[in-house]
Structure 1
Amino acid sequence: MKPSVGVGALILDHDMNILLVKRKKPPEAGCWSLPGGKVDYMETVEDAVIREIKEELNIEITIKKLLCVTDHIIESEDTHYVAPTFLAEIINGTAQNMEPHALESIKWFPIKGIPKNITITTENALKHLHI
């Protein structure tokens, strides 16, 4: 198998809360994650993250900057993603779970109150968040 490309967005609100989604499916099922998804063929990573966030949460975002890139490798789950993560903010809409088959729930967390069961990409993005 070859690595896939997956994108994510660390979305902050004006009170510095972070929007996370709880995954129902592998990789890392049961963990809190940044919203995002796979890049489609001939799609830029920026376009992919904007599209995925709209599909998952029915919100429009603006990208502030590339925050980090994670090598999301989990041998036990046969998973290998290269995952660019962007710092973003909502420009339109209120987040709602549009993919209940894939996401158990969505929730805003204060930066100091992030749950312990987070994905590898979320952990890496938080390390690169300098606010």
Structure 2
Amino acid sequence: MKRVDVAYVLLVDEQEENVLLVKNKGPEASYYTLPGGAVEKGETLEEAAIREVKEETGLDVQLGGIFTVSEAFFEERGHHTILFTFTGKIIGGEINISMPEEIEEVTWMNSQQAEQYIHLARGFEGLIESKTTVPYILREAGRHQS
């Protein structure tokens, strides 16, 4: 199995009632997720999260802490995936779908409804509203520029 890291960003509106989701085109059906995607070689989780949000939504974001870490086995793809979700805030840009072949919609959704799309385990209802995070720490000393 190939290890794949994915970085997502949880963005809430100013009233703290709605969550920004993207509707991805899937092989069988479209599905909602938080904006985000796979971390590329040589990229930090933070860099990947910021890049993916920009690519998928047109928005510039500043990241907060880690909201959730989860993992999944996607047998059909042969992937063991670790999913890191950051909190973030919008600092610029405007909603624009630059990849219509992948993303068909960018939408704000009520946080209770959004929870069903961000794969929280049973018993974690209300987690978005709790705003619990842990720090994300990049240890620069170990990073070599290629």
TM-score (norm 2): 0.75
Change (3 A) 1:62 1:24: same
Counterpart Cα distance in 2 of 1:80 and 1:66: 20
The answer to whether the 8 A contact 1:58-1:98 is kept is: yes
> Counterpart of 2:3?
3
Higher Rg = 2
Structure 2's unaligned 5+ residue stretches are: 132-146
The answer to whether the 8 Å contact 2:2/2:79 transfers is no
- Residue 6 to residue 115, structure 1, CA distance change in 2 (3 Å): closer
1:22 lines up with 2:23 in the alignment = yes
Equivalence for 1:39: 39
* 1:89 counterpart = 2:89: yes
Identity %: 32
Normalising by structure 1, report the TM-score.
0.82
Deviations 1:38-90 (A, max 9, x none): 11111110011011111111111011111111103233454431111101110
Q: 1:75-130, CA deviations, whole angstroms, 9 ceiling, x for partnerless residues?
A: 345443111110111000222222111112111012134385x2xxx122975431
**Structure 1, unpaired ranges of 5+:** none
Per-residue deviation at 1:21? 0.7
Whether the aligned pair in 2 keeps the contact of 1:32 and 1:115 (CA below 8 Å) is: no
Query: Aligned partners of 1:66 and 1:90: how far apart in 2?
Result: 16
